[in-house]
Amino acid sequence: MIAGQGLQMVETARGVVEKEIGPGTLVHIPTAAYHSTVNTGTETMELLAIYAPFGPEAELRKLPGVEIEPPACQH
């Protein structure tokens, strides 16, 4: 997480795990695990999501309201 506050939920074989997350938090979500990330703060939540192997992000692009931001120019 880059900015903001949230609640991360991941469903595992042992049950549901929920954790408060904030800037600097790294979350690993196993392949095909049911999960959610909810903004619990008053400011915009900023996340960096990395998909490995790639693929699921193609479906996310189809969701209403999703905007793909171009990378910032690095000079």
**Domain ranges (residues) in the chain:** 6-60
pLDDT in tens, 2-57: 999 999 999 988 999 999 999 999 998 888 889 999 999 999 999 988 877 666 67
**How many Cα atoms sit within 13 Å of 67 on the Cβ side?**
4
The count of other CB atoms within 10 Å of the CB of residue 21 is 20
- pLDDT for the residue 58: 78
- Whether the Cβ atoms of residue 57 and residue 22 lie closer than 8 Å to each other: no
* 40 phi-psi bin (left φ>0, alpha ψ -120 to 50, beta other): alpha
